Copies of this chain bind each other. A is one copy, B any other.
Amino acid sequence: MGFSKVVRFKEEKRSRIVLALDPIGIAHEKVIEWSYKILKELEGIVSGVKIGLPLILRVGLNHVGNIIDEFKDSYFWIADLKLADVAHILTDIAEMLHNIGFDAVISHLFTGREGSLNELSEKCKELDLGLLGVLVMSHKGANDLFSKTYEDLLSIALDVDVDGFILPATMPFYIRRTREVIGWSKIIFAPGVGAQGASPGDAIRNGADFEIIGRAITFSENPKITTLKIAKIHEEVLGSCTGK
C-alpha cells in the first residue's frame, strides 16, 4: 500500500488531521492502553497517525507494529524519527519501519545527497514507502538556521524527489512559498498546531494538505470532541479556499 494511501485519503476528502501520538507523561504501563483508546476514539475522524521515538522507545517496534496492524486501514501511518544519518543506517531503519507497516517516514534534508538522502530515497521508492522531508521546523529556534538554509534544503528535497514536505504551521509563509514552487504534486504536512502556537486551519489556509496535531488533541479533556471541532474548522477553511 505505502504512500499511495496518503494520496487516496486526501482524494477521498477525509479529514486533514494527522494525529501525533506521543505518550509523554503517560505512566509506562498504560501507554499501550492509552494508544488503543485514542485510536479507537478517533477512527474515521483523523486520517493519519504520526508516531515517533517517545512511543517506539517505550513499547518497542513490535508493539508499534501490532498497533498499526489493528488499525491498518483506518489511518495512514507516518514514522517520525526525524532521520538524519548516513546511508547504511538510514536504509536499515527505513526497511524496519516499512516491515512493521508504516506508510511514510519523515527525514531531515540537511544531511545532503550522496551517502545519505540519495540512498534513502532509492530505498523508499523500492519499498513504496513515502519520504517526507523536513524543510523548516516549527519551533522558535528554527529561525537560527532553517531560515538560512531554506533554498538549499528545497533543492536537495527536489533532487532526491521526496513525496512530501514538513513545513511549520507556525510560519505559514514557508508553506505558501513552497506550494508556489512545487505546485500540488507533493503533499505538505504542517506541525505546530495547538501547543506550539498555530491555530487549527492556519496551515491549511496557506496551502498545507494536512495539519499535524498532538497534545492539543491527546491531552484535551475529550479528544474526540476536540478533533471534531478542528475538523469542522478545516472544512470551513477548505470551503472558502480554491477547492484544492
Is A16 an interface residue, CB under 8 A from the partner?
A: no
Is A196 an interface residue, CB under 8 A from the partner?
A: yes
Contacting pair A139 B110 (CB below 8 A): no
Instruction: Say how far A229's CB is from chain B's closest CB, in angstroms.
Output: 23
Residues of B within 8 A of A85 (CB): 52, 82
Contacting pair A93 B53 (CB below 8 A): yes
Is A239 an interface residue, CB under 8 A from the partner?
A: no
Q: Identify the closest chain B residue to A86 (Cβ).
A: B139
Is A230 an interface residue, CB under 8 A from the partner?
A: no
Contacting pair A152 B146 (CB below 8 A): no
* Chain multiplicity (copies): 2
Is A61 an interface residue, CB under 8 A from the partner?
A: yes
User: What is the bound-complex CA distance between A117 and B144, given in angstroms?
Assistant: 11
Instruction: Say how far A99's CB is from chain B's closest CB, in angstroms.
Output: 10
Is A60 an interface residue, CB under 8 A from the partner?
A: yes
Residues of B within 8 A of A62 (CB): 60
Contacting pair A139 B116 (CB below 8 A): yes
User: What is the bound-complex CA distance between A2 and B194, given in angstroms?
Assistant: 35
Instruction: Say how far A54's CB is from chain B's closest CB, in angstroms.
Output: 5
- Which residues 38-93 of A sit at the B interface, judged by CB distance below 8 A? 52-54, 56-58, 60-62, 81-89, 92-93
User: What is the bound-complex CA distance between A141 and B114, given in angstroms?
Assistant: 4
- Which residues 193-221 of A sit at the B interface, judged by CB distance below 8 A? 195-196
Contacting pair B153 A145 (CB below 8 A): yes
Contacting pair A145 B112 (CB below 8 A): yes
Contacting pair A92 B140 (CB below 8 A): no
Is A96 an interface residue, CB under 8 A from the partner?
A: yes
Looking at A96, A118, A195, the one whose CB has the most chain B CB atoms below 10 A away is: A96
Contacting pair B81 A53 (CB below 8 A): yes
